[in-house]
Chain A
Amino acid sequence: MDVLNNLVFGFGVALSPENLLFCFLGTFLGTLIGVLPGLGPTATVAMLLPITFYLPPVTSLIMLAGIFYGSQYGGSTTAILVKLPGESSSVMTCLDGYEMARQGRAGAALAIAALASLFAGIVTTLVIAVAGPPLADIAILFGPVDYVALLTVGLIGAVVLAGGSIVKAVAMVLLGLLLGCIGTDLSSGEKRYTFDLVVLYDGLGFVPLAMGMFGITEIIASLDETGGRGRAMASIARLWPTKEDFRRSWPAALRGTLLGGALGILPGSSATLSSFASYALEKRISDRPQDFGKGMVEGVAGPEASNNAAAQACFIPMLSLGVPPNAIMALMIGAMMIQGIQPGPLVISSQPALFWGMIASMFIGNVLLVLLNLPLIGLWVRLLRVPYTILFPIILVFCALGTYSLNNSVFEVGIMAAFGVIGYVFRLTGCEAAPLMLGFVVGPMLEENLRRSLVISQGNFMVFVQSPISATLFALSAALLLLMLVPSLKRKREVL
């Protein structure tokens, strides 16, 4: 019972008044910035970095970690209330979460999102405690070839995201891939579709794209469909989820947790990707896929569990290999280095208080977050009673300012406006934004790894079946494809 002893030791560290306070501060701040679109955890952690010079290492890491996973909780709030993804990983929550809000079930959606996140947070933290380092060693075996296979499964699965026409969904995925090509090509250094605009050299940002195609498009559509009054929300009959909601949510949350945890430990994957994957999975295995996008609680529970699991899981490569899977983990490594700690294989034995203290703090932080978020639900839901003519300018300002604050770039605000228009036209024509966003996220990763695989193998396509991981995944995607081409036995999918 080594792990148990270590956890007890960790709780001893994490429960000191000072660490508890900073855990609370971190999670509180994380919730706050998670709610605000644009302003993300990376910017916040970067800003707070100098403060950590004056804190003990454990305390500062507990706080910074809290900001990160706290933002995953907060990100779902605006997604559910006004269809505005507060963080990129909550894009999928926009779909069914917002529909639930329109049906007067905003409270239920928010509560399920918080509880699913809690569940995922606790489970994933346990996994880190029990098997973090060995898992990290497995994760690095994932080579470019295997990523190609994994992402192919993802792309094929993307089509499942579609609610209406499959053909249009495929076209939207392709358009997403094309948009993902914009910018400097990593492999050759060539500029693609940049039209000599320096601001396009790094490609389009995910946030302006998502905010345009979800937030802005929704405002335009809502105003147009109601002759300027804005869509009314159904009145709220019940604030909390029903028993039925819980019954349907927990298996979804469990699957989301597994998926998010698995994708989260892979360096180069992301919470965003795992929430897409979870949504697609839930829809695929549901016995009423036609109701997804119309307020299915599984469509909230799965992705929310998944993004939180992925957020916690990416601590594994960071802590045990010293490899940061994203910018925020890089900042945490920076914070440790300034304090003279080198995250890596030795960190557990050389800094037990830091490692176990931080893990224990994640348990505490997740519970704090739910205690913090549940009472807020009543408050958030009241926000929906604000007349739309007042509400939509507020959303507009936060969209624009949030996008600007990412890179201090007015150009990105313009991009957001452009994709508001494009998203609206596509919506009018019955094409959905989610497959496009997935293509946009997956495309660059897929291309990069495909080209890398072929460079390393000197053009030998056989490498894709020689790796056991990749061979398995390709077999899986072939099966998926087959399932989709052969009309399902259980249900008939309407093809527009």
Chain B
Amino acid sequence: MKRAVFFAPFIGFIALVAILYAGFHLNDPSHLPSALVGQRFPGFELPELTSGKVLGHQTLLGEIRLVNVWATWCPTCLHEHTTLMDIRRATGLSIVGINYRDDGEKARRWLSLYGDPYDFTIVDANGDLGVELGVYGAPETFIVDADGIIRFRHVGDVNDGNWNREFLPILDSLTDG
């Protein structure tokens, strides 16, 4: 029995390798249905980035919106930023930013430097809203319908590929319905 303990590191290593190997052949975890889909967007009372005005959950209502979680410490967000600018320009879709665990000064500088695709940006400096949303990295993007219901969650950057493959069909179905 005791001897088995010493096999633990070896077995752990083999398991890690197996999981990684299997991972490469499994489905995309960003496609996994999120528990949040179909739920109401969590309530919040947080300041807006530039105006400082406190916004609540009702500000999201009335329109289909993309809600994009971003931060200046996140290099992937910078990469994604151009895509968001393009989407905003091409579709006119409302995009709302959540500035996640970041420095307000840096975030404002970022938007003035790279352009601002957001209708408004909610400041989640302590990451509380992020916890509600189950955010564990950045960026993440949600589709929220006019009633404030989360319709889709995407973890990782929005790029041309997943925009056409995943976002557009859902947005189309929402506008048709």
Does B bind A?
no
